[in-house]
Amino acid sequence: MKTSTYAICMGKRGAIALLIMLMAIASVMLQSLPAYAFEISQASPEQVYTYRRPSSDGIGKIYMGREISQVMGHRGAGWLERSSRRQEERPWKIVDALELNPSDTVVDLGAGTGYLTFQLAPEVPQGKVLAVDIQPEMLDMLTAAQQRHGIENVEPILATVDNPHLPLGVDYVLMVDAYHEFEFPREVMKSVIKSLNPGGRVVLAEYRGENPFLAIKRLHKMTERQVKKELKSVGLEWIKTEEQLPRQHLLFFQKPES
Ligand X SMILES: C[S@@+](CC[C@H](N)C(=O)[O-])C[C@H]1O[C@@H](n2cnc3c(N)ncnc32)[C@H](O)[C@@H]1O
Site map 93..122 versus ligand X, x via CB under 6 A: ----------------xxxx--xx------
Cα separation, 137 vs 49, whole angstroms: 28
Please state the closest distance from residue 94 (CB atom) to ligand X, in A.
9
Site map 61..80 versus ligand X, x via CB under 6 A: ----------xx-------x
Nearer CB in complex with ligand X: 115/253: 115
Site map 130..149 versus ligand X, x via CB under 6 A: --xxxx--x-----------
Closest among 139, 89, 134, 107 to 255, alpha carbons compared: 107
* Binding residues among 177-216 for ligand X as defined by CB under 6 A: 177-178, 181-182, 188
Please state the closest distance from residue 218 (CB atom) to ligand X, in A.
15
**Which contacts of 164-167 are long-range, i.e. CB under 8 A and separated by 24 or more positions?**
164/107, 164/109, 164/132, 164/188, 164/191, 164/192, 164/195, 165/132, 166/107, 166/130, 166/132, 166/191, 166/192, 166/195, 167/130, 167/195
Nearer CB in complex with ligand X: 159/236: 159
Q: Which of helix, strand or coil describes residue 51?
A: strand
Query: Which residues of this chain interact with ligand X, rule CB under 6 A?
Result: 71-72, 80, 109-112, 115-116, 132-135, 138, 159, 161, 164, 176-178, 181-182, 188
